[in-house]
Amino acid sequence: MGTMLDKLSNSKRKTLQEKEQEANKPNFVDLFAGAGGLSYGFIRAGFSVAFANDFEEVCIRTYKYNHPELPSNRVLEADIRGIVDNIDDYVQEPIDIVVGGPPCQGFSSANKQRIIDDPRNELYKYYIKAIKKILPKFVVMENVHGMLSVANQVVEDYESIQEERNGETYTYSVSYRLLHSADFSVAQARERLIFIAIRSDIANDQHITPNGLFDEIERANDGKRQYVLRDALSFIPPLQAPRIKNQNEIDSDECGKKIAVNPFRGDDSPYLKLINGGRQIPFLFNHKARYVNDINYDIYRLLEPGDDASDEKIADIMPYRHRLHCFKDKYYKLMPDKPSRTITAHLRMDCHSHIHPFQIRAITPREAARCQSFPDDYLFLGAYLKTYMQIGNAVPCLMAQSIGEILKKHL
């Protein structure tokens, strides 16, 4: 991928793009790409991005910076509802795989015959429409555990696809499984519901099924080393939380910087070697501690790893004590010798649920990114709190890479 300066140089980016075009790799389209966790994993698996889309401006900026091998006109900031009908304008070549995680809601509306048809799930419907237009060989769709309640309805939608192209009718077979990030050597306990669909001609030619592919993915994980939070928090400078408001955008040696010289190599441990691809990385991005007020500082200080908001040590100062039935997880000090609890986009609101196990502060965006298996030189652009949102919404890179490696065998 080159150095940080290469990513800022138009001439270096052009060279990388020309080299990528000549490589003739299998390709994919990433819809609802976010900051690019799925994309980065598939790139590490040997794929090339044909097109990526998201409606969040800050995500597109992050994506473009970290993917210098992709021409800017192949990364589009747009609502899928406005581009799906003319997606041929952006995707002309045949596509091997479409990946993405369309946001879905409304899973608790059990009184509806088809919950997936809830109007709040409109974007999912446009994802299906894009599949019909692009007709990729494979589809990988990811979502939250909650989508399990409508998974069979999603299967119905994929299996109802019948698209005629050049005299041939294409259909899809599809299956789904809950995959656990820790099984993919990610230092985080995170469940994702993954759907894999195969176009009918590919399934017949390759004699493969979606369930067979999931079996391959799970077999590939056999014997993989599992990592814990301590692995993600090692070989990174200690920080102090700012105690004055409105300091999140101000760099300092004590509280951290958006871009800093890395005092370590980047390959100092097996986990860092894994997420950084064995590279030495001279810079450290997004390692800044978050402001904490006096009450929260005392809560962070008093809790031990594994303690939550119900702990008696903070009973007299816990501001949500009277609502513990719904705020028990409001505060939680992470356990160093277990995979991190799930990194979520809620961290942009507060980080009380992800208190550092050894330092009196919450985890930084960089530490959260390590738990998501992003490399240390993956720079998240935008306002400080927006970086947490981008990281929390991502698919762990190592999980995406492992899925991509299995699918690549059948192309």
Instruction: Give tens-digit pLDDT for 35-78.
Output: 999 999 999 999 999 999 999 999 999 999 999 999 988 999 99
The whole-number pLDDT of residue 7 equals 82
Query: Residue 1 — very low, low, confident or very high, per pLDDT cuts 50/70/90?
Result: very low
Tell me the whole-structure pTM to 2 decimals. 0.94
Query: Does residue 189 sit in the same domain as residue 233?
Result: no
**Domain membership of residue 70 as a residue range:** 4-224+397-408
Residues 6+ apart with CB under 8 A from 267: 273, 276, 278, 279, 280
Q: Are 391 and 365 in contact (CB under 8 A)?
A: yes
190/264 same-domain check: no
Residues 191 and 82 placed together within one structural domain of the fold? yes
Whether residues 246 and 283 share a domain: the answer is yes
- Kindly state whether residues 238 and 362 are assigned to the same domain: yes
CA-based angle 181:182:184, to the nearest 5? 70
147-161, 211-225, 332-346, 387-401 — which is least confidently predicted?
147-161
- What domain count does the chain have? 2
What is the rounded CA–CA span in Å between residue 151 and residue 177?
9
Task: Give the CATH number, domain containing residue 26.
Answer: 3.40.50.150
Q: Are residues 147 and 133 in the same domain?
A: yes
Domain identity same for 293 and 216: no
| Parallel, antiparallel or unpaired: strands 172-180 and 191-199 | antiparallel
286: its two tokens: 């997004």
Neighbours of 121 (CB within 10 A): 24
User: Is there a single domain that holds both residue 250 and residue 175?
Assistant: no
60-64, 151-155, 358-362, 376-380: range with lowest mean pLDDT? 151-155
The answer to whether 229 and 340 are in contact (CB under 8 A) is yes
Cα 378 to Cα 321: distance, rounded to the nearest angstrom: 39
Same domain? 140 vs 189: yes
Would you call 255 helix, strand, or coil by DSSP? coil
Q: Are residues 248 and 337 in the same domain?
A: yes
Q: What is the mean pLDDT of the chain?
A: 92
Structure tokens at 152: 């069979």
Looking at the fold, whether 336 and 190 belong to one and the same domain comes out as: no
With helix as H, strand as E and coil as C, how does 326-352 read? HHHHHCEECCCCCCECCCCHHHHCCCC
CATH number at residue 237: 3.90.120.10
Q: Are residues 268 and 166 in the same domain?
A: no
Residue with tokens 């017949």: 204
CA distance 370 to 386: 17
Question: Catalytic positions, please?
Answer: 104
> pLDDT tens digits for 198-247?
999 999 999 999 999 999 999 999 999 999 999 999 999 999 999 999 88
